[in-house]
Amino acid sequence: MSTVKIRELTKQYGHAQVLRGINLDIKDGQFVVLVGPSGCGKSTLLRMIAGLEEVSSGHIAINERIVNDLPPKERDIAMVFQNYALYPHMTVRDNMAFSLKLRHFPPAEINARVEQVAASLGLTPLLSRYPRQLSGGQRQRVAMGRSVVRQPQVFLFDEPLSNLDAKLRVQMRSEIKQLHQRLHTTTVYVTHDQVEAMTMGDLVVVMRDGVIEQAGDPLSLYDCPANQFVASFLGSPAMNFLPGILQNEGSEIRFADGSSCALHDSRPTRNGGPVVFGIRPEHLHLAASGIPANVLVVEPTGSEMIVMLETTANAGNPLCMVLRQRHHLKPGERIFVQPQTGCEHLFESGSGTRISETQNHFAH
Ligand SMILES: Nc1ncnc2c1ncn2[C@@H]1O[C@H](COP(=O)(O)OP(=O)(O)OP(=O)(O)O)[C@@H](O)[C@H]1O
Ligand SMILES: [Mg+2]
């Protein structure tokens, strides 16, 4: 049973306010991903949970016990960093056993734990090798193994995969997830990679400039982002945004080129208001009428086609459309695109806050 509760947590370095009132409840066994652009405070928050940074104000509780003044080694937490720094002069077995030896565990217990964790991480054949004799992915696995043998209450990961190549990252991502499914240890995982966040997290926490913009399960955030920042941060290619004006009692939006588009009945009824219309690339379709567009670039990926479009509805900002079917589109071709009804997102012009009242109805 390990929960983490964070209340009104702030962090200041001199005059710089790095975290501003963070509130977060992490349930027992949850896999929480902190995601956000560089410098938003992810590592600082993680390091504060670990006890490596002092709390400026607010509090952190692990298992209902406030740990603000508890040194890291008394928090029963294991942290895996991007630079996992294995001891180069020790074998895999000794690297994994090291922290247990320091804590004076009996040798038989150390052996049993190391053997068991090595087996579960596929490290058994590598136990007598030195770190220099391992690949990057194997080293990362040893670094995880070193934490797992301790059986901590909470795992903290800070961008553990960012040193690995793309293919290995995908493989390790699924290994970490499987490890979590086996151990059910409460985990906080930091990344700036939105795909990692979406695929790994039970709870995804999107941060910006020291605040939490939104927290929720990955698909709720994707389907119902609270603001334009979250909408643009999650999803690749990113959501398109078109400025427009509501008309016909809010049943329609008109864009700068005079074209318009019917809205789903979940939007608030009001006329004449400037709003931002958000539509994901996979929710734009080819049509006989709609928003007129010029094909700029066609990028076939094999499974789908990414099409960049120039429109006067959104002058200067190309629209991105993702097609699952193989259409023969050519650069320069004039086409019409139509947003899929019910899949639009409406945001307040200026603040970027979501104004769609209910969750959109998606076709998936
Ligand atoms: N020891 C420090 N002294 C002063 N400022 C710091 C210190 N550590 C971090 N900061 C600042 O705090 C802010 C948040 O840093 P943090 O390392 O938490 O960001 P991050 O979200 O982990 O970013 P990245 O994705 O680049 O790792 C940054 O603006 C950083 O410059
Ligand atoms: Mg960081």
Under a CB-based contact definition with an 8 Å cutoff, are residues 274 and 343 in contact? no
43 lines ligand 1 (CB under 6 A): yes
Give the mean pLDDT of 324-353. 93
80 Cα to the center of ligand 2, angstroms: 12
Judge whether 157 lies within some domain.
Answer: yes
pLDDT at 271: 66
Residue nearest to atom 2 of ligand 1 (CA): 13
pLDDT grade, residue 357 (50/70/90)? Answer: low
Q: Which residues contact 24 (CB under 8 A, 6 or more apart)?
A: 4, 5, 6, 32, 205, 212, 215
Q: Tens digits of per-residue pLDDT, 132-162?
A: 999 888 898 899 899 999 999 999 999 988 8
Same domain, 77 and 40: yes
175 Cα to the center of ligand 1, angstroms: 28
149 Cα to the center of ligand 2, angstroms: 25
Give the mean pLDDT of 206-230. 97
**Ligand number with the minimum distance to the CA of 158:** 2
**Ligand number with the minimum distance to the CA of 192:** 1
37 lines ligand 1 (CB under 6 A): no
Same domain, 79 and 34: yes
Percent of the chain with pLDDT over 90: 75
Judge whether 229 lies within some domain.
Answer: no
pTM exceeds 0.85, yes or no:
yes
Judge whether 357 lies within some domain.
Answer: no
Residue nearest to atom 22 of ligand 1 (CA): 43
pLDDT grade, residue 363 (50/70/90)? Answer: very low
Same domain, 152 and 246: no
User: Is the pLDDT score of 296 beyond 80?
Assistant: yes
Q: How many domains does the chain have?
A: 2
Same domain, 151 and 122: yes
Atom in ligand 1 nearest the alpha carbon of residue 45:
18
Same domain, 55 and 202: yes
151 Cα to the center of ligand 2, angstroms: 25
CATH of the domain at 281: 2.40.50.140
3 state SS for 69-87? CCCHHHCCEEEECCCCCCC
**Ligand number with the minimum distance to the CA of 35:** 1
Judge whether 18 lies within some domain.
Answer: yes
CATH of the domain at 151: 3.40.50.300
User: Is the pLDDT score of 101 beyond 70?
Assistant: yes
42 lines ligand 1 (CB under 6 A): yes
Where on the phi/psi map is residue 332: left (φ > 0), alpha (ψ -120 to 50), or beta?
Answer: left
192 Cα to the center of ligand 1, angstroms: 13
13 lines ligand 1 (CB under 6 A): yes
Same domain, 147 and 56: yes
Instruction: Residue 139: give the domain boundaries.
Output: 4-224
Same domain, 219 and 241: no
Distance CA 208, CA 214 (A): 10
Same domain, 241 and 199: no
